Chains A and B, each alone.
Chain A
Amino acid sequence: MAKWGMVIDLDKCTGCQACTTACSMENNRLPGENWQDVLFYHEGTYPNVKLMWFPRPCMHCENPSCVSVCPTKATYKDPHGGFVLMDWNRCIGCKYCQVACPYGVRFYVDEKAPVQPDIRTVFPSADGRVWDPPYRGPQDDPGRGIGIQPHGVVSKCTFCYHRVSKAPAGIADLDEDIPALKEYVPACVRTCAPKARFFGDLDNPESTVNKLIADKSGVRLKDETGNKPQVYYLSGGAAASVPSLRSMTPSDPA
């Protein structure tokens, strides 16, 4: 069985946030519930300023701290593919997982909406979900955290399980540029204009993702946590980059 992983080439990322909006629309996320976010930061003093950004999906860790803290086993590591998923039928909304996750990629939306007026009041749900937009996608699988969540639960990136899980068995890479495969590719990967994202089987030695990680020295974010992310970053020093542990500004102590 595949162990799905993502490679994000930061030298190619343009910080456009198409991954964010494509994910948002594919997975019917609320405004600001960015399963796939791009974080911007800057340092320095005019005119010597550095602007950088960092795209951040769920890392679908091999050893996810969110899973180990969940008191109800609502969040779990799917053995078939390595997805970290949510069972909304089990989640009690305690948010332990949000606190335990080192990457800040879990969401609890039963709060005041960041964009007002609250779109949930404009497109309310008739069957107990948090909302029901007219463009809601057909996929619905609450046991895997797919579709629109009920109230009081945590949501997170599914690596587009509803697409990836239907891919032909044994495939090394899900490349959106191969027409026969594009429907199985996660939304953020499929839409990425500069092709900064690659998605494939980390257990398959032939996969492009493995080759990229090896050839271009892929790194994992906050590897020191031992979470072993299944998302790798390639970074040759472009504006999109893995945030460094040491600040470049002396006034900002590391």
Chain B
Amino acid sequence: MEIIKTLLSRRRFLQASGTAGAVGAAALGSGGVLTALKPVRAQAASPPTYHATKITKSICHQCPARCGIDVYTTDGRVHAIYGSSEHPISNGKLCPKGPLGTYILYDPDRFKGPMKRTNPQKGRDIDPGFVPISWEEALDTVAGRLNTLRDKGESHRFALCFGRGWGASCAGLLGPFGKLYGSQNVPIGHSSMCSDGSMLSKAATDGNASYSAYDYRNANMLLMFGVGFLEAFRPYNNNMQVWGYIRGERVPKTRITAVDVHLNTTLAGADRALLIKPGTDGALALAIAHVILTEGLWERPFVGDFKDGVNRFKTGQHVDPGTFEEKWVKGLIEWWNIELKDRTPEWAAEITTLYERDILATAREFGSTRPAIALFERGVHAHSNGILNGMAVHSLNALVGSLFAKGGLMYQMGPSYGAMPVKEDDFMDDYAKSGPWKAQPRIDLQGHEDGYLIAKNMLQEVGPNSLAGKPYKLDTVMFYLTNPIWTAPDGRAWEDALKEVFVVDTSPFPGETAMFADLILPDHTYLERLQDAPTYPFQGWPMAQLRVPAIKPLYDTKYFGDTLIEIGKRIKGRTGEYYQALGDSENVIRHLAKGFETDPGDNGVDSFDSWKEKGVWYKKNYKWRQIGGAFFEWDGKGYNTPMTAEQVKKELFKTDSGRFEIRSGKLEHHADWIAAKTGRDKDKLMFPHWEEPQHPGGGDLYMVTPKAAMHAEGRGANLPVAIANFQPVLGGRGTVYIEINPKTARERGIADGDLVRLKSHLGSIEGHCRFFEGCRPDTVVFPMENGHWAMGRWAKGRSPGHCGEITVNQSDRVTGQCSYYTTKVSIERA
């Protein structure tokens, strides 16, 4: 009764003034009340007729998903955003972030044109003294620095770091720029600070360095490890559409088990919620695999079987490899013998703190329900043992045969884009081909023995490495849609690094990195841009969206793609000629669209103009499917064309063996290096296996800082409506709490709502805590999007402060994954 009473009588804004107060105010005639007595305005007889409302088909920018949106503009004012009905991801719907896009356009804190710094001193809370300059001056300044570096043979000291790349007309232009200009540091993506741990786990096992595409609607069970399916997992909007179907309409209802470290909406909505100890998801996956094998639940047509059909997987017992015939997997028996035979639910219960009965029930359900998908993201792999955890979870997909199956998972196909207007290879001068820059390693030591040999990118290392001068110091760095001073762990190192580097930021908004910038070259906001964006991994079949401007730019801003092209035109020699020939970003997009002329989309899009009108090109059939352990290609009518093992290797399992490698050839190739850097056993490091994670920070509680539904890809912090509704489980109305288990709090003399201090050896932050029984006693949880100091007026200084201040910069040495959720902190009353 208390709950319902409290919730339902919660009258927002009715604070000190109760009933009596309200009457009193009316009687006394406080200003607002009297004003209301006179009519507001002559009221129209019928609802007013609007001037023509224009609907522009565009795409959202508030997460990677790329939902199609209908942008409503009346009298030059953008006033509403809804999902596009004709768009395969949004289907007319939106997540809570989508409608807030109008606010992003009209954000009063936006940069309004190019600016340069006049205060040579840089630091947190030091006014940069930005003054407006012309685009000519801005572009000439960047190009001048770049030309000078190139003349000195130091072009590698220019780096361009990017976060949310969208398509060929922005991020796609960066690679050629690096090649022509001569810098291996153009570009450095943020993938290691995103979710490379999952890409590399997949690359190690099935050969695809990519996120997966999923066929959730046909699955009968989803086993989710640390994905925040109903909070942050992309495409969030479509995930919820899926959820409504599989949980509310589908017969049979799809079973869901969700594994995470605190109770969130995904766990609340699941059939089974497993509150696991941070960093131990791999142990759970190993135990599930153990049960699937001992109880004979694996998918024989895909995995293979014992030659005589007798199951020899007995706990603790060695299996003779000669007795088993593997089909599409490699190394199963070796895995069993070296690791899995002892990984019982009882063992995993000890490691994960879960109940043995829950592990067993999960394993049996997952092993006996087809089709089933095991999906995972950062909760699993943002730890020092991330690659092992990721491989262990992904191997479950192999055991139940869900790779490329109906109701399983696959990889995303690219769109039928036309060729770029010109080829960069035709414009390579001698410097580009063999200049002194070629002898240098990347600044982040990606691909280098001293750094991260196998990683894709190591953005989190750029600042610290430049600061240390190892391998060298950067001269100039440019940022596109990334704000590493704030998003990197231990951002203080970045602040020191960027004090001594010429910084160019291209964000339309103020941010922490922008405050260290020497030049601001602001991009349009997304409702003002023409920008292509092939789909993020979705359902596998190809799709390419187009962001179409709803209105002309409000301010003197420039699309990043054009900023880059204009800088390129100012680079001396052949590079400049290439960019002259490229023209501008619209020319690039027009050339991309030429590919649709010969391969029109299902919705009839066959040209630049029709793409712009509809906002999306797609073709709904995925090309390949695994059915009962055999692979087939789509022939226009069905999956009828059988594939050879060679074709499967070329298109699907891109590994040495052409199979799903539980014994990873990719890791085996680098066994010496991995063993040297991680101390792992050379005979075991290529198999998914259990290893205790390393938790830096010096505290006694795990600090986990998830993204919440309202976190709008970097701008959620400055959206008042988002702030008002952030962290609904505990907070809201502008207040965000640190979740703490009451027992943990009481042991430390902390009361519900107390101001507390979280400390790691890097420093401390303060905020109010809230008791939450859905939080593990060994863990504190709060969303990451707080504590900005330069993001805008609403974002400034929001409690409980920024987790990056106390998050240690530790990465998985194999995947390069930045381990955001692995620092341990202590908590005390402030």
- Set A33, A53, A94: member contacting B13, Cβ < 8 A: A33
Residue contact A191 to B2, C-beta cutoff 8 Å: no
Known contacts A191-B93, A195-B244; decide if A222 and B8 are in contact (CB<8 Å). Answer: yes
Number of B positions contacting A (CB below 8 A): 104
**Which residues of B sit under 8 angstroms from A223, Cβ to Cβ?**
none
Contact pattern, B 81-109, Cβ under 8 Å of A = 1, otherwise 0: 11101000001111111111011011010
Residue contact A98 to B43, C-beta cutoff 8 Å: no
The answer to whether the Cβ of B60 comes within 8 Å of any Cβ in the partner chain is no
The answer to whether the Cβ of A219 comes within 8 Å of any Cβ in the partner chain is no
Residue contact A162 to B47, C-beta cutoff 8 Å: yes
The answer to whether the Cβ of B243 comes within 8 Å of any Cβ in the partner chain is yes
Contact pattern, B 583-595, Cβ under 8 Å of A = 1, otherwise 0: 0000000000000
The answer to whether the Cβ of B650 comes within 8 Å of any Cβ in the partner chain is no
Question: Which A residues from 31 to 69 make CB contacts under 8 A with B?
Answer: 31-34, 37-47, 49-54, 56
Residue contact A51 to B268, C-beta cutoff 8 Å: yes
Question: Which A residues from 9 to 30 make CB contacts under 8 A with B?
Answer: 9, 11-12, 14-18, 20-22, 24-26, 29
Question: Which B residues from 195 to 250 make CB contacts under 8 A with A?
Answer: 230, 236-238, 240-241, 243-245, 247-249
Question: Which B residues from 244 to 276 make CB contacts under 8 A with A?
Answer: 244-245, 247-249, 263-265, 267-269, 275
Residue contact B1 to A104, C-beta cutoff 8 Å: no
| Separation of A49 and B43 alpha carbons in the complex (Å) | 52
**Which residues of B sit under 8 angstroms from A34, Cβ to Cβ?**
12, 724-725
| Separation of A22 and B69 alpha carbons in the complex (Å) | 13
The answer to whether the Cβ of A114 comes within 8 Å of any Cβ in the partner chain is yes
| Separation of A146 and B48 alpha carbons in the complex (Å) | 11
Residue contact B93 to A193, C-beta cutoff 8 Å: yes
The A contact surface, by secondary structure, is: loop
Question: Which A residues from 142 to 197 make CB contacts under 8 A with B?
Answer: 142-143, 146, 150-153, 162, 165-166, 176-177, 179, 182, 187, 190-196
Interface centre among A99, A117, A244 (most CB of B within 10 A): A99
| Separation of A243 and B720 alpha carbons in the complex (Å) | 29
**Which residues of B sit under 8 angstroms from A22, Cβ to Cβ?**
82, 94, 96, 98-99
**Which residues of A sit under 8 angstroms from B733, Cβ to Cβ?**
32, 114-115
| Separation of A128 and B40 alpha carbons in the complex (Å) | 8
The answer to whether the Cβ of A253 comes within 8 Å of any Cβ in the partner chain is yes
| Separation of A196 and B40 alpha carbons in the complex (Å) | 37
The answer to whether the Cβ of B7 comes within 8 Å of any Cβ in the partner chain is yes
| Separation of A221 and B47 alpha carbons in the complex (Å) | 32
| Separation of A56 and B68 alpha carbons in the complex (Å) | 28
**Which residues of A sit under 8 angstroms from B728, Cβ to Cβ?**
15, 17, 38, 40, 53
Shortest CB–CB separation between residue B55 and chain A, in angstroms?
Answer: 10
Interface centre among B17, B724, B774 (most CB of A within 10 A): B724
Shortest CB–CB separation between residue B651 and chain A, in angstroms?
Answer: 33
Known: A14-B240, A152-B35. 7 other contacts (CB 8 A): A17-B709, A103-B8, A115-B724, A152-B32, A193-B244, A195-B248, A253-B1
Q: Report B's interface with A, CB cutoff 8 A.
A: 1-4, 7-15, 17, 19, 22-23, 25-26, 30-37, 39-41, 43-44, 47-48, 50-51, 53, 74-75, 77-83, 85, 91-100, 102-103, 105-106, 108, 230, 236-238, 240-241, 243-245, 247-249, 263-265, 267-269, 275, 709-710, 720-725, 728-730, 733-734, 741, 743, 772-777, 793-794
